[in-house]
Amino acid sequence: MKHKFLTAAAIALCVAAANPVTMNADNRVNPFLQPYTTPYEIPPFEQITVADFVPAAEAGVREQKANLDKIVNNPDAPTFENTILPLENLAPTLEKVQGVFYHYDSAMKTAEISELGETLIPMFNAASNDVMLNDKLFARVKAVYDGLKKSKLTPVQKRLVEKYYRQFAEQGAALSPEKKKELVRVNDEISKLFMQFTKNLLKATNDFSIVVYDKADLAGLPESVVANAAETARKRGLDGLYVFTLHAPSRLPVLQYADSRGLREAMWKGYTSLASTGETNNIPVIEKLIKLRAEKAKIMGFDNFAQMMTSRVMAGTPEAAEEILMKVYEPAKAKVKEEVAEMQAYVDRNGGGFKIAPWDYYYYSGKVKNEKYNFSEAEIQPYFELNNVLDGLRYCAEKLYGIKFEEMPDAPKYMDQVTVYDIKDEDGKHVSVFMTDYFPRDTKVQGAWMEQLQSAGLYGDGKTRRPIVYNVGNFTPPTPENPSLLTLDEVETTFHEFGHALQGMLTQAPYRSLAGTNVDRDYVELCSQINEHWATAPEVLKVYAKHYKTGETIPDELISKLKESGQFGQGFTAAELAAAALLDLAWGRCDGENVDVANFESNYAKQIGLPDELTFRYRSPYFKHIFGDDGYASGYYTYLWAQVLEADAWELFEQKGIFDSKTAASFKKNILESGDTEDPMKLFVKFRGHKPDAAALLRLRGLDK
């Protein structure tokens, strides 16, 4: 999941003073400067051009300034109504521009969009600073905050005030003028480095490929993977050859299924050296970022960046985050030794004559799994045609939460691959717009994520609007011969990102800064991770897992094998994730002085005893979660933190029934709908009945044995 808005939820933007400028310099109507007349105010993508962004952003900045002046120059005493609510409705035009630009910057990152970012992002940063570092505004927010004990505000309104006060303080509003100036400089330099990191990573990913000339070298690979490699080669003018790239649908099957050890090694080394050399080298970018982050933490009064970032979420301190990581990492590391021993025994029995290396892990894990359970994930992939998977996803959402999907074929789209849905409740009332974009392309950043183009909540015209939410992925694309056949990991990712979408779409929080996924970073992954469980539940598989050729429902035998082997390989999965999260925290504690990225990473691997057969889930030069923006910086641990919540919550569904109406209703009310209207721990306890039990995760992953 991603959060791109630079002020988090602190500036939820909406309708304010009318802007008389509606035309560009070329006398063409600027769609950003007009009311959207599209269904549910979906951005009119087909009308928006690159030339529209800067004039609209400039108009948005002027609009924000005018509205800001009205707040700070109000002669009346600060109140919720004259200070906090106007902040919720500060700059509607700027929100429109940011929403579309940041979406394009990840999903449609053309050369024009990259160049545009060099102008827009500093402009967005400056607009954010104008708000968050405004002394008069902070004084008014503080006055409302200081009067909370005597106020008659509702608990939710009080929480909104508290959130604004906290976010202003976190953004440096209480700093001296000198420190504010330093902070602005540091933030500006950091944002430029984010852009460079992402630009380098995208180019490095697109520049790498492996060309295979002899089909015999592709032994072991599923037919659909070979077909995709042939199609990629054809598009590059290499008919009759096979091209593999670092995009997940190409990379992961090679590591998992290719009999050729040389091919696997080439892919692994290509991936783990990504963006590490030449013109796309991210190492100098990281070195500068680490130093600037350490400087920023000092300005803000913290010992280090990790301390600053964890202070803002449930964990509270890097030590607390590290403690829960180690509770998972140590047993996972021990499990890895067992897994490697089984693989090595397999290699030795079959005359391999070599020691298991990192590029062997996926492949021989699959071999051992097949030997132990007579099961290969390649067996189930034909049952995971994308449209069938989406049928299963919709089935679960309707059965659990009572929502329905109606496709909107005529809705605005930024490209043909996008599908748009009108999400409705059981009474046919509009709940949300939901958009999907699932296949890789050269202009799309790797990974999968959820975001929104419009937040739910109260707007400046007094109306409450429903959200516009989207899911983006990089899944196995169709070929002329075959439809899109997802891997098991891709199926789970589809459900994962839709879990985020559910929290965004179903929210009933009255204010946008508290709505949907605007919650603590180490709480937000609960909804996504628990939703993965329904993807492989036997009764759900029976609904959607149909063979793409025969239409046959997945047989009970395959479901049993999938379930029996479910905990296999969990040492690797948990250890590489925990190790990456620990590395992230280590970077957050680093002062950046004379740091050597490669040495720092390798030394830390030794410090935590990372097994030789593993590497970090993301090496630093392509660890976009933590170096592409601040979203998960010193916060990658949140995936495991939230896995504790998820595992404990899932145990209740298992006890009561995975479609138990009472349990689903409680989860919907207390978790999906509530957003940040109450302390997340209290909301979790309301649903679960107790505080999260870390042992639940070990039980779920089979790491308690």
What are the DSSP calls for 612-649, one per residue? Answer: TT---SS-GGG-HHHHTSSTTTTTTTHHHHHHHHHHHH
For residue 470, the cross-strand partners are 435, 451
Q: Which two tokens stand for residue 368?
A: 């051992």
Q: How far is CA 370 from CA 226, 335, 487, in A?
A: 21, 18, 16
Look up residue 396 and give its DSSP letter. H
| Interval 57-66 mean pLDDT | 97
| Interval 362-376 mean pLDDT | 93
Residue 566: band (very low, low, confident or very high) from pLDDT cuts 50, 70, 90: confident
* Res 416: pLDDT: 92
| Interval 130-147 mean pLDDT | 96
Question: CA 310, CA 316: separation in Å to the nearest integer?
Answer: 5
Least confident range of 19-23, 208-212, 587-591: 19-23
> Is pLDDT at 20 greater than 80 in this prediction?
no
Write the pLDDT tens digit of every residue in 178-195.
999 999 999 999 999 999
> Is pLDDT at 27 greater than 80 in this prediction?
no
Residue type, 408: M
Helix (H) or strand (E) holding 13: none
Helix (H) or strand (E) holding 432: strand 430-437
Write the pLDDT tens digit of every residue in 370-387.
999 999 888 999 999 999
Q: Which two tokens stand for residue 352?
A: 């391999």
* Res 21: pLDDT: 55
Pick the CATH number of 31-174 from 1.20.1050.40, 3.40.50.1100, 3.20.10.10, 3.30.230.10: 1.20.1050.40
Look up residue 227 and give its DSSP letter. H
Question: CA 176, CA 173: separation in Å to the nearest integer?
Answer: 8
* Res 162: pLDDT: 97
Q: Which two tokens stand for residue 343?
A: 């693989």
Go through 51-61 and write b for each residue having 16 or more CB atoms within 10 A of its CB, e for each that does not: ebbebbbebbb
Question: CA 310, CA 278: separation in Å to the nearest integer?
Answer: 34
Backbone angles phi, psi at 20, to 5 degrees: -70, -15
For the chain, where do the domains classified as CATH 1.20.1050.40 start and end?
31-174
Non-local (6+) Cβ contacts of 271 within 8 A are 246, 251, 622
Tell me which residue of 672, 319, 655, 662 sits closest to 526, measured CA to CA. Answer: 672
| Interval 578-600 mean pLDDT | 94
For the chain, where do the domains classified as CATH 1.10.1370.40 start and end?
382-564+639-701
| Interval 400-417 mean pLDDT | 96
Residue in the block written with tokens 């290699």:
347
> Is pLDDT at 563 greater than 70 in this prediction?
yes
Average pLDDT of the chain to the nearest whole number: 93
Q: What is the DSSP string of 349-410?
A: HTT--S---GGGHHHHHHHHHHHHHS--HHHHGGGBBHHHHHHHHHHHHHHHH--EEEE-TT
Tell me which residue of 345, 369, 349 sits closest to 568, measured CA to CA. Answer: 369
CB contact at 8 A, 33 and 48: no
Residue type, 265: E
> Is pLDDT at 7 greater than 70 in this prediction?
no
Residue type, 156: V
Question: CA 566, CA 701: separation in Å to the nearest integer?
Answer: 9
> Is pLDDT at 9 greater than 80 in this prediction?
no
Question: CA 470, CA 188: separation in Å to the nearest integer?
Answer: 28
First CA to last CA distance, the chain: 32
CB contact at 8 A, 560 and 547: no
Q: What is the DSSP string of 571-610?
A: HHHHHHHHHHHHHHHHHHH---TT--HHHHHHHHHHHTT-
Residue in the block written with tokens 């020691």:
355
CB contact at 8 A, 164 and 513: yes
Tell me which residue of 634, 632, 635, 518 sits closest to 8, measured CA to CA. Answer: 518
CB contact at 8 A, 452 and 468: yes
Question: CA 140, CA 145: separation in Å to the nearest integer?
Answer: 9
Backbone angles phi, psi at 384, to 5 degrees: -115, 50
CB contact at 8 A, 553 and 668: no
Helix (H) or strand (E) holding 469: strand 468-472
Beta strands in 166-250 (DSSP E): 210-212, 242-244
| Interval 211-215 mean pLDDT | 96
| Interval 636-651 mean pLDDT | 91
Write the pLDDT tens digit of every residue in 489-532.
999 999 999 999 999 999 999 999 999 999 988 789 999 999 99
Q: Which two tokens stand for residue 137?
A: 């505004």
User: pLDDT > 90: what percent of the chain?
Assistant: 86
Q: How far is CA 456 from CA 1, 7, 446, 576, in A?
A: 18, 17, 28, 36
> Is pLDDT at 702 greater than 90 in this prediction?
no
Q: Higher pLDDT residue, 582 or 564? A: 582
> Is pLDDT at 22 greater than 70 in this prediction?
no
Question: CA 354, CA 86: separation in Å to the nearest integer?
Answer: 67
| Interval 57-67 mean pLDDT | 97
Residue 693: band (very low, low, confident or very high) from pLDDT cuts 50, 70, 90: confident
* Res 26: pLDDT: 66
* Res 17: pLDDT: 35
> Is pLDDT at 479 greater than 70 in this prediction?
yes
For residue 243, the cross-strand partners are 211
Question: CA 79, CA 83: separation in Å to the nearest integer?
Answer: 6
Question: CA 357, CA 613: separation in Å to the nearest integer?
Answer: 5
For residue 211, the cross-strand partners are 243
For residue 385, the cross-strand partners are 485
User: Catalytic site residues?
Assistant: 497
> Is pLDDT at 15 greater than 60 in this prediction?
no
Helix (H) or strand (E) holding 457: strand 457-458
Q: How far is CA 221 from CA 4, 39, 218, 226, in A?
A: 37, 45, 6, 7
Question: CA 217, CA 484: separation in Å to the nearest integer?
Answer: 24
Look up residue 397 and give its DSSP letter. H
What's the CATH architecture for 382-564+639-701? Orthogonal Bundle (1.10)
* Res 664: pLDDT: 98
